[in-house]
Amino acid sequence: MQALQASGSFVTHLECGKCRARYPAGQLHSLCTACSRPLLVRYDLPAVARALHKGDLPPREVSLWRYRELLPVTRPENIVTLGEGFTPLLALPRLGASLGLSRLLLKDEGQMPTLSFKSRGQAVALSMAKELGVTRVAIPSAGNAAGAMAAYAARAGLEAFVFMPEDVPQGNLMECDLLGARVFLVNGLISDCGKIVKDGQPLLHWFDLSTLKEPYRLEGKKTMGLELAEQLDWQLPDVIIYPTGGGTGLVGMWKAFDELEHMGWIGPKRPRLVSVQAAGCAPMVRAFEQGQEHAEPWQNAHTVAAGLRVPGAVGDFLILRAIRETGGTAVAVTDEELLADQKALARAEGVCAAPEGGATVSALRKLVASGWIKPQEQVVLFNTGHFIKYPYTAAPPVHLRKEAVDFARLA
């Protein structure tokens, strides 16, 4: 293991993503106390670059903890892990050919311990919660974040409270219960659940793990960018297409690339970051198109892609900045389109994606058709979860009567 600094990590401080106010490392933090915006973890990157070299990575563990110098945990015994990270980067030759693309790839986050990329954020967040002495955690969630939080809380031995919309996918509900979390269904959206967690905090003394209110989930998510860079031998792709809800995935990767450039591991070239949202809940797309710095909350948010049903994001300005600074764009796709493409991806490539993953294929189609993506460009789609958590997106089965099978009709 490389020598870490005396503090045990390379974190120097936390910094508000908006007003740049500074906060000390090694303490619990939520949003910036000055402007109520997310805090970003800052590292002594020149020191990381001295301690860690690209060649150190290949023999390391096949999980996101291979990048421990770029993660905030101070003492290894605090790491709470289920082996998350280092998901495969799959070539999609058949789907690519059907769209005239020869270099189409998919990072398959469905192959995670909790079957979604939320494992990454919660592994790091619960490790830090443990390190900083938290005993009770709470989360508002559209589904997958709660499942992941419940899993890592169980593994860390922490008490977990989960607040989800009533119509959350059943699998998410059941996994949280199995994992021993206290589960509550709320007659509203994730934003209503978030208010309950906030209002209950002074009475129930839980630590709020809401997206981007808690600064370390983003550090876990950023490992998608680190992995992508390593898996592509430190040559980033031309375009990344990512399904966006609260935005930690996109913002995390953008942060990762920035850190890698500061370490001298990559150059200034960035993939164009594409944010995909559902037409029934597309606050980032609207704000991007209108040239806004912040996104107005979306009214009557609805989509089958539960992870995308986030009407307002506290990190909206970071999402929009990441898209604009990289020359990216934002695309809305209908539920009909994303479900058709979930199927198309499965049938062309054998990948059982979450509907959110299907949405990236729909966005790709539009961007190829408009000429925004060129045939020779290297494009990476992110499938953020596994289909099996959304069984209601499958077609109903055909029943046969064993006494009277009509084989003529099976062909």
Q: Can you give the binding site for ligand PLP, defined by CB under 6 A? A: 116, 118, 144-145, 211, 243-249, 307, 354, 356, 384-385
Per-residue CA distances from 96 to 93, 101, 192, 359, 375 (Å): 5, 5, 40, 15, 9
Q: Closer to ligand PLP at the Cβ: 120 or 131?
A: 120
Residue length, the chain?
411
Q: How far is the CB of 247 from ligand PLP (least distance, A)?
A: 5
Residue 356 token pair: 């959110």
Strand partners, 40: 15
Provide, rounded to whole angstroms, the least separation between the CB of residue 269 and ligand PLP.
23
Q: What is the DSSP string of 322-355?
A: HHHHTT-EEEEE-HHHHHHHHHHHHHHH---B-H
Residue whose CB is less far from ligand PLP, 25 or 185:
185
In the complex, the smallest distance separating the C-beta of residue 200 from ligand PLP, rounded to whole angstroms, is 22
What type of residue sits at position 327?
G
**Least Å distance between CB 275 and ligand PLP?**
8
- Which tokens belong to 190? 């994730």
Q: Which is nearer to ligand PLP, 92 or 168 (CB)?
A: 168
CB closer to ligand PLP, 45 vs 112: 112
Task: State which residue, 45 or 123, has the beta carbon closest to ligand PLP.
Answer: 123
CB of 252 to ligand PLP, least distance (A): 7
The beta-strand segments (E) located in 141-193 are 159-165, 182-186
Distance CA 385, CA 377 (A): 25
Contact of 214 with 30, CB cutoff 8 Å: yes
Q: Which is nearer to ligand PLP, 87 or 116 (CB)?
A: 116
- Nearest residue to ligand PLP, by Cβ distance, number only: 307
Minimum Å gap between C-beta 7 and ligand PLP is 29
Q: Which one, 45 or 363, has the nearer CB to ligand PLP?
A: 363
Report how far residue 83's alpha carbon sits from residue 327's, in angstroms, rounded to the nearest whole number.
34
Q: Would you say the C-alpha torsion 45, 51, 54, 56 has a positive or negative sign?
A: negative
CA 95/CA 100 separation, integer angstroms: 9
Shortest gap between Cβ of 404 and ligand PLP (angstroms)? Answer: 42
Nearest to 158 by CA among 98, 206, 195: 206
Nearer to ligand PLP, 263 or 322 (CB): 322
CB-based contacts of 298, cutoff 8 Å, min separation 6: 281, 282, 283, 286, 311, 312
Question: Measured from the CB of residue 310, what is the shortest distance to ligand PLP in angstroms?
Answer: 7
Closest CA to 36 of 314, 239, 254: 314
The candidate with the shortest Cα–Cα distance to 288, out of 300, 276, 305, is 276
